Structure 1
Amino acid sequence: MIEHRPFKTLGSANHGWLDAHHHFSFASYHDPERVNWGSLRVWNDDTIQAGTGFPTHPHNDMEIITYVRKGAITHRDSMGNEGRTEAGDVQVMSAGSGIRHSEYNREDEDTQIFQIWIIPEERGGEPAWGARPFPKGDRAGAFVPLASGAANDGASGDDGALPIRTDARVLGATVKAGESITYTTRDASRHLYLVPATGKVQIEDVEAEARDGVAITHLESVTITALEDSELVLVDAA
Structure 2
Amino acid sequence: MIELRPYDSLGGANHGWLDAKHHFAFAGYHDPARMGWGALRVWNDDTIQANTGFPPHSHADMEIITYVRDGAISHQDNLGNRGRTEAGDVQVMSAGSGIQHAEYNLEAQTTRIFQIWIIPDQRGGAPTWGAKPFPKGDRAGRFVVLASGIEGDEDTLPIRADARVLGLTLAAGESAEYVFGDNRYGYLVPAKGVVEVDGLRVQARDGAAIRDQASIRVTALEDAELVLVDTAP
Same fold (TM over 0.5): yes
Residue 205 (1) aligns with residue 199 (2): yes
Alignment-mate amino acid for residue 117 of structure 1: W
Secondary structure of 2:54's partner?
strand
What TM-score, normalized to structure 2? 0.99
Aligned pair partner of 1:165 in 150, 156, 160: 160
Change (3 A) 1:125 1:157: farther
- The whole-number CA distance in structure 2 between the counterparts of 1:80 and 1:69 is 25
- The whole-number CA distance in structure 2 between the counterparts of 1:44 and 1:35 is 13
Alignment-mate amino acid for residue 48 of structure 1: I
Change (3 A) 1:157 1:166: farther
Residue 217 (1) aligns with residue 176 (2): no
Number of equivalent positions: 232
Secondary structure of 1:219's partner?
coil
Deviations 1:48-82 (A, max 9, x none): 00000000000000000000000000000011100
Residue 226 (1) aligns with residue 224 (2): no
- The whole-number CA distance in structure 2 between the counterparts of 1:219 and 1:185 is 7
Residue 135 (1) aligns with residue 135 (2): yes
Supply the RMSD in Å over aligned alpha carbons. Answer: 0.6
- The whole-number CA distance in structure 2 between the counterparts of 1:51 and 1:201 is 33
What TM-score, normalized to structure 1? 0.96
Q: CA deviation at 1:12?
A: 1.5
- The whole-number CA distance in structure 1 between the counterparts of 2:5 and 2:143 is 22
Q: CA deviation at 1:103?
A: 0.2
Residue 37 (1) aligns with residue 34 (2): no
Alignment-mate amino acid for residue 193 of structure 1: Y
Change (3 A) 1:122 1:221: same
Unaligned runs of 5+ in 1: 151-155
Alignment-mate amino acid for residue 52 of structure 1: T
Alignment-mate amino acid for residue 196 of structure 1: P
Amino-acid identity (%):
69
Secondary structure of 2:44's partner?
strand
